[in-house]
Structure 1
Amino acid sequence: MEDQVKLEQKDRLGYIILNRPEKRNALNAAMVKGIQGALDAFEQNNTVKVVIIKAEGKVFCSGADLEDIKKMQTNTYEENLLDSQLLKALFYRLYSFPKLVIAQVQGHALAGGCGLVSVCDFVYAAPHAKFGYTEVKIGFVPAMVLVFLLRKLGEGKAKELLLGGELIEASRAAAVGLVNGVVEPEDLDQKVQELANHLVEHNSGSSMALTKEMIGKVQEMSLEDALDYAAQMNARARASEDCKKGIAAFLEKKKIQW
């Protein structure tokens, strides 16, 4: 059977490709583990600076494989908890991954698939792509993504999407802040690649990693603790090789080679 997740590398860009189009790229345990394995590979690959998640077929990801969930309804609570922790671990891994992650959404991203998009750093979508957390319509709950969506959009917009359960167009997803840009299908691949290459060429990898780490952590802190943490990170960054290199190049009016 062909791998459900494919890996590709183009220069300094790593691609994670969902490859289960006959099942609308529905997430099962094998696919979740495949994405984790791909992240392992790209985290250890020092030449890869930005990771792009895309998909084969017409649908980006339809969410959890409902046939698998139906089979699990006879499981014990402990067995179901163990399975749900796989998705929890994946979402947290993407949210805290030390390299930037871009979702390239060529088709619908629904339920858990929309959750997958929500934890990426940037999201670009085709105009016809629809987004939605439809779990409440089938008696399920958008449990894991809820934690991240509150951070991303705030309580008001999160409630609208999670409790309403309706599908929204890509333009609406961009308006609420779920999507960064809407791009015609024929230009989507080029747009995402251009953005990724811009990040690779113009930004320090260590600076982006530290900034992403801080964004995740300061939201859990009091104002005073957050500022203390920020001061520590500021001091730490000044001593980094990238900062020394960047400031020296700026003062010498030389182009920085990241």
Structure 2
Amino acid sequence: MADTAARIADGPQIRYETPFPKVARIVLDRADKRNAQGTVMTYQLDAAMRRACQDDSISVIVLAAEGDHFSAGHDLSMSEAPAAAEAERVTLWGQYGGPGWEGMYAREREVYLEITERWRNAPKPVIAAVQGSVISGGLMLMWMADIIVAADDARFRDNTGSDMGVPGVEFFNHPFELGVRRAKQFLFTGGWLSAHAAAAAGMVNEVVPRADLQDRALALAEEIARTDRFTLKLIKDSINTAQDAMGRGAAMKAAFANHQIGHLQNMLLHGFPIDVTKLPESVRRHLEAALAASKTEG
């Protein structure tokens, strides 16, 4: 039987730095894969977030990414084990190898929904510095941040609906980031949103020249870090609670359920959790071969 558990120590895909007093900088360091989010990166990022949150010398966290692109989204290569080792999982769902849809549901609930929600509720302010393409799952990595600084070459897209047959990524924050009508157009078309359009919609705080991105994010972190650490925690918790009182939590759960329905529909139609018919032929063949191999090994 194939090894179905990955350890967070397998291959560094995250860098942890402390460039200035009171500031931690966490870097997605998988540029050769356009920082695609796989199982290993997810749990390494979770460990880095936990480290920064539990370090009393840190007041502000900066999330950055190596290379030309912030993140190409979920890793569809199926080159990594689908689950973390049991001891390293951070929620109580388990049953990653459960029958029927139980395993897929449990994995997506932990790896994408609940972990991202944990990051969103981290008690310390998080600033995301984003550049290049931010696609589908990459939006989730960015949306967990409290402040987003974008390079002028940044562009955003969620093509899970238009190309993959599911109604948006698992951490469904679209209407709260873009407003209802912009979110609908964004998802209905699967089109690109520029950095300046994202700023106009309120999804991005600032747009800066690419060359200034990292310096601006760190300067903002230093400015915020001058505020008392406990006061920052109280401010963040108050604002997040206000957003949740507007129905964000319930909307997120409903959207996640619809996401799973989309997966099941695709399984019935295509034998795969996403609509592979709209993907490039090389990608489709790779996914189908990987799925067949996993069934054989299992």
Pick from 66, 71, 78 the counterpart of residue 68 of structure 1: 78
Matches within 5 A, 1:30-41: 30-41=40-51
- Deviation track 1:77-129 (CA, whole Å, cap 9, x = no partner) reads 11111221211122101211100001111221110101221221111111111
* Residue equivalent to 1:244: none
Matches within 5 A, 1:186-225: 186-201=211-226, 203-221=227-245
Distance 2:129 2:180 in 1: 26
Structure 1 unaligned runs (5+)?
Answer: 223-258
* Residue equivalent to 1:6: 15
Matches within 5 A, 1:1-258: 2-10=11-19, 11-68=21-78, 76-85=100-109, 86-136=111-161, 137-146=163-172, 148-201=173-226, 203-221=227-245
Give the alignment's TM-score, normalised by structure 2.
0.68
| Maintained 8 Å contact 1:118/1:149 | no
Distance 1:19 1:159 in 2: 32
- Deviation track 1:37-93 (CA, whole Å, cap 9, x = no partner) reads 001101110111111111111111000011229997x98411111221211122101
Distance 1:6 1:71 in 2: 21
Secondary structure of 2:70's match?
coil
Displacement of 1:200:
0.6
| Maintained 8 Å contact 1:103/1:124 | yes
| Maintained 8 Å contact 1:64/1:112 | yes
- Deviation track 1:7-36 (CA, whole Å, cap 9, x = no partner) reads 111221111111111111101111111110
Question: Given the superposition, is the C-alpha separation of residues 220 and 6 from structure 1 closer, same or farther in structure 2, using an over 3 Å criterion?
Answer: closer
Displacement of 1:177:
1.1
Q: Percent identity?
A: 28
Question: Given the superposition, is the C-alpha separation of residues 42 and 150 from structure 1 closer, same or farther in structure 2, using an over 3 Å criterion?
Answer: same
- Deviation track 1:175-226 (CA, whole Å, cap 9, x = no partner) reads 111111111111111111111101011x22212211211222234448xxxx
Secondary structure of 2:78's match?
helix
Secondary structure of 1:90's match?
helix
RMSD: 2.2
Distance 2:11 2:207 in 1: 31
Question: Given the superposition, is the C-alpha separation of residues 220 and 51 from structure 1 closer, same or farther in structure 2, using an over 3 Å criterion?
Answer: closer
Secondary structure of 1:144's match?
coil
Distance 1:158 1:218 in 2: 21
| Maintained 8 Å contact 1:112/1:142 | no
Instruction: Give aligned pairs, total.
Output: 219
Structure 2 unaligned runs (5+)?
Answer: 1-9, 83-96, 247-298
Distance 1:177 1:88 in 2: 23
| Maintained 8 Å contact 1:100/1:209 | yes
Question: Given the superposition, is the C-alpha separation of residues 62 and 37 from structure 1 closer, same or farther in structure 2, using an over 3 Å criterion?
Answer: same
Secondary structure of 1:193's match?
helix
Question: Given the superposition, is the C-alpha separation of residues 211 and 6 from structure 1 closer, same or farther in structure 2, using an over 3 Å criterion?
Answer: same
| Maintained 8 Å contact 1:7/1:17 | yes
Give the alignment's TM-score, normalised by structure 1.
0.78
